[in-house]
Structure 1
Amino acid sequence: MATENWLPIGFELPDGAHCGKASRGGADWQIIETVGGGSALLARAHLAGRWAESGLLEERELSPFSFGAAAFCEVSCGPGQMLAPALDSRSPLTESEALAFALAFRATRAIDGLSPLNDAIYVEKLSRLLPTYSAQPSVDDGVVFGTWLTGGAPVSAESFRQLRGMLSWMGAEQLRGVVAAAGFSVKELSGASSDDRASAARPGAAARDADGLDSGQPFKLPGRPELESFFNEHVVDIVLNKPRYQALGVEFPGAVVLHGPPGCGKTFAVECLVDYLGWPSFQINASSVASPYIHETSKKVADMFEKAMHNTPSVLVIDEMEAFLADRGMGGGGSHHRVEEVAEFLRRIPEAAANEVLIVAMTNRIEMIDSAIMRRGRFDHVMKVDYASAEEVLALLGKLLEKLPQDGTVDPAPLAEELAGRPLSDVAFMVREGARLAAKSGADKLGQAHLLAAMDDAPSRTGDEPARRIGFV
C-alpha cells in the first residue's frame, strides 16, 4: 500500500532538499525520496523531541520546520547513505556496510539501553538507530541485528552458524568482527578460517564446521527415539550425503507432517532439527499471516514462501496447519477464501521443496486437513507423535537432570513411570518446579523429595483433577 505524502512534491526542506514521494512511514515519521537521488527522514516534533531528550541526537542534527499547523523535524541523507526501518530494509552489500550498521547499533545501545529497536529507523548518516516507540511487541536485540544482516530472516546474531550459512559471501572472521562490533558475544570458531566460504555454501556444512562437529554426527532428540530415527534417515542423511542421493534422483528431503495431541513434543522436535541444521527458519502461523481482509492471508503466505526460497537452504514451519489447510468441502460463510488459501499452499509447497526449502507442518487435528494437501508429492511423510512412553520420559529426564546438581537420592525411574502418557511440558515443569522447591528450602542440590513434591503439586491436566484455585471464597 502506497504511503500518502505529508508534504507536497517539490516542497523545499530547511536544508534545501526538495521532497519527492514517500516510501515508508509510521504514525509519527515518514521517509521520503528527495530530488537528486537522496532521501530524508521526517518526524513529528514530539518524536524528534524524544530523540533529543534521550541523547540519541543533538538538536543541531535536526532541522525544524512547519507545514500548516504541523511541526516537523527532518534529516536529509545523500544518495549513498542508508535510511530505512531496521527490520524492513535490504541486507548489506559489503562488509563495510555491515560494519557501519554494527557500530550504529552499538552506539545507540550505549546511549539508550532500554527502548526496543525492532521499530527503529537506521540513519547511516548519523550512525544511529532511532526508535519510534510504537506499540509493536519488542524483539530481542540479537534478532533485530540478525534480521537486518540477512535482509529479513529472523536469525539471532548469536546464532553464528546460521548467519554463516546465509552470509557465505562474507568470511567467517569478517562476520565475527561485524557481530562483535555490534556488542554481541561470538562463540569460538574451532579453527575455522575466512577461507571456508565454499564449505559454508554446502547445506548443513557451515554449522558443523563452525562448531567442530563431525559431518556424520547424527541428529539427537532426547526422549523420542522413533522421531529421531525418522529425521536422521529422511532428512539429515540426505543433507549430509547430497551427491550420493542426487546421483539416484533424490534432490532434497520431502515435506513432513507431524501430528498428535497437544503437548506431545512436536514443536520441541522441530526446534531441535532447525538448530541442528543451522539453516534460517520461517514460520507460518495464525499470528504471522492470518488477516480479516480478502486475499491478504494468501498474499502473506506467498510472501513467506518467497522469503524462505530466497534464503535457501531453509526450513519453513507451518504451525497449526488446520487453521489454513482445512478441508475445502467443510463449507461455511468464508469457504471461498479458504479455497484460495489452500490453493496457494497447493501451488507453493512443491515449488519450495524444489528450491531446497524443508517444509515441516504440525497439527493436532490431522482429520481436518484437505486431502489434496496430504497426498504424496506435497507432504511425502506423515508422522504421528504421541505422548511419551516411560522409556522416552526416562531419557528426557536424564537429559534435563544431568545439568543440575543432585544429592545422590535422585532416581528418575519411578518419576518416568508416573509421567508416562503425559505432555512432555509436564516433564520439564516437574524438573523446574523441583529445582525451585530445592532452592526455596535452602538446599544447594536437588533431591528426590523435591521432585516428588513437585509431582504432587503438578497433577495431570488431562484428567478430571481440579485446577489450583487462588482467590477469595
Structure 2
Amino acid sequence: MTGTVKVGRVLSSGIDWQIVQTNERGRALLMRGATLQRWFDTGLLTEDVCVEVRYGTSAWHAVVSGAGSTLAKLDRSPAPNDKSEALAFASSIRETRKLDTTTSLQNGLYVERLSRVLPTYEADADADDDLVLGSWLTGGLRVSVTPMAKMQNLLSWLPAEGVADVVRTAGLTPVGMVAVTTPGQNTPSGALRNQDGGSEGRFRLPGRSTLEEFFNDHVVDVVQNRQHYEALGIGNPAAIILEGPPGCGKTVAVERLVAFLGWPQFGVEANSIGSPYIHETGRKVAQLFQAAIDAAPSVVVIDEMDAFLAARGSGESGQHRVEEVAEFLRIIPSAIKAGVMIIGMTNRLDAIDPAILRRGRFDHVIKVDFANGAEMLDLLSSLLDGVPLADDVRLDSYAERLAGRPLSDTAFVVREGARLAAKARRNEVDRESLEAALKTLPPIGEVKNRVGFL
C-alpha cells in the first residue's frame, strides 16, 4: 500500500524500475537504486514529486499518475489521439533535453504528469530524438519526423501545419516542407506542401566503392531519371539484399543511402513485428508495409532477414514461420510496384527461404565483405577531410593495416587519434597519436575489453 493507493499488476519493468497498475485506474512508476540516482543527479526527478514505498525491508520511490495522464514505456505507449496529446509528448522531449542533452530517449519512460521522458540507459538505445518522436507519433513504426515530406501521409488525423508545430515543440527543426501561398495572396496560407525535387548529384559511400557504384546505377539513377526508365518499362528500383559478415558496413551503407534519398524509412525488426501469437506477426508485417506504401516513395529495411524469412519446413518454427514468409511473399511485389524500395540485410543467405530469393522479389543479392586497402584509403581520406594532418602521416600505410577490419574500427582510430592529439595540445593529428590509437585495437577476430560505454 502507498497511502490509499493500492499497487496492482506489473505492466513494464527494467533495471531498478517498474510501472504498475493502481486501484484508481491509474499507474505508478516504482524506482530505486542506480537508475533512480541518475535521474536525481541530472534533475530529471526531484524528491518532492516522489512518495516513498516499502515492500518489507525494501524501500522504493514512486511517481503516481492518474488515469487521464500517460505513464508508459515508449514501445508500449499508445499513439496520440489528437494534437494536444502530441504536443504534450513533444514538450516532454524538450523539457527533458534541458536537463540531459545527450542520453538517447529510445525505450524511455514517458511520464506525462512531469513532462519528462526518462531514459532507461539501455545499452542498445541509440536513436536520436527525431526517430523517437516519429516512432511515438505513428504508434511504433521506426520512422523519423525529418525529413517531413511523407510524415503527413502517416498522420492523417493531424494537418501538415500541426505536424510542424509538434516537431518545433520538441526542439527539432521541420525539414522537407515549405509554406504554400494561395494565388493572389502575398502571405502564406498556413498550409504546407512537399518541396519539389529530391536527391541530386552522385551518391558517395567512402570505403565501399563497389556498393557505391551499384547504388548509383540501380537506385539513384532510376530515381533521378524516372521518366527515361518508365519509358522503357522500368518503374521503381528492384529489391536488394546485402549479404556479408557482421561489421562490414551494411547498415551504415543503407542509412547513408536513405539519408541521401530523403525518403521515410520503415524497419522490420524483431521488436517491431515479432509476436508469440499466430496471425499477429503477419498482421504487423502487412500494417508496416501498408504504411510504407502510403508514404511512398519510401524505404523498408529488413535487418537480419534470416530471422523472419528462414526456409519453411526447417522444423524450427512451424505455423509462425509459414505465415510470416507467406505474408512477405504476398506483399513485396505490390510494395515495389507502389514505389517502396526494399533492402534486406543478412549474414546467413543460405538460411533464407528460396522463394524469397527468386527474381521479382529480390532481384539483386550483393556481397558486402570487409574493405580492402584501396577502400580503406578512401574511407580514411573522407574521415580526415578538413582535419589538420602532420607531414609524417601516411594514410596508405594505415589503410593497408586496417584492411579486413570493420569500418567502425577505422572510424574509431581516427576519432581516438584526434582525441589523443588534442589531449597532447597538438595542432594536428600526427603519426604518434594514430599509432597509439591503432594499438588499442585487438587482433582481428579477438574481443578486447573496452573503456567507456558499449
Same fold at TM > 0.5:
yes
In the TM superposition, what is the alpha-carbon distance from 1:242 to its structure 2 partner? 2.9
Give the match's secondary structure for 1:359: strand
User: Does 2:151 match 1:166?
Assistant: yes
Give the alignment partner of residue 245 of structure 1, picking from 202, 225, 229.
229
Alignment map for 1:141-290 (pairs within 5 Å) = 141-150=129-138, 152-156=140-144, 160-161=146-147, 163-167=148-152, 178-184=166-172, 186=173, 193-194=179-180, 197-200=192-195, 205=197, 208=198, 215-290=199-274
Amino acid at match of 2:431: Q
% same residue: 44
Identify which range, 146-155 or 368-377, moves more after superposition. 146-155
Q: RMSD across aligned C-alpha pairs, in angstroms?
A: 4.5
Q: 1:355 to 1:92 in 2, by over 3 A?
A: farther
Aligned residues: 399
1:248 and 1:352 mapped to 2: Cα distance? 20
Unmatched 5+ stretches in structure 1 = 1-24, 32-39, 58-71, 209-214
Instruction: Give me the whole-angstrom Cα distance separating, in 2, the residues matched to 1:447 and 1:420.
Output: 20
Contact 2:167/2:174 (8 A) holds in 1: no
Counterpart check, 1:449 vs 2:401? no
Gaps in structure 2 of 5+ consecutive residues: 1-10, 13-17, 32-39, 51-62, 182-190
1:341-397 deviation line (CA, Å, top 9, x unaligned): 222221221232223221100111222222111001100111111222222111100
Aligned with 1:381: secondary structure? Answer: strand
Aligned residue among 407, 410, 414 for 1:427: 410
Contact 2:21–2:28 under 8 Å retained in 1: no
Matches within 5 A, 1:263-412: 263-329=247-313, 331-412=314-395
Which structure: larger Rg? 1
Distance 1:363 1:370 in 2: 13
CA deviation string 1:66-99 (max 9, x = no partner): xxxxxx987576xxxx9796765556777x8765
Shift of 1:43: 3.2
8 Å Cα contact 1:115-1:131 kept in structure 2: no
TM-score norm. by structure 1 comes to 0.68
Structure 2 residue identity aligned to 1:448: R
Please give the per-residue CA displacement for 1:430-469, whole angstroms capped at 9, x wherever unaligned.
223323433454434211232233334425414xxx6657
Q: Aligned with 1:223: secondary structure?
A: coil
Question: Cα deviations across residues 290-313 of structure 1 (Å, max 9, x unaligned)?
Answer: 445555544443343333334332
Would the alpha carbon gap of residues 41 and 353 (structure 1) be closer, same or farther in structure 2, given more than 3 Å must change? farther
Task: Check the 8 A contact 2:442/2:448 in 1, yes or no.
Answer: no
Check the 8 A contact 2:92/2:116 in 1, yes or no. no
Q: What SS does the aligned partner of 2:149 have?
A: helix
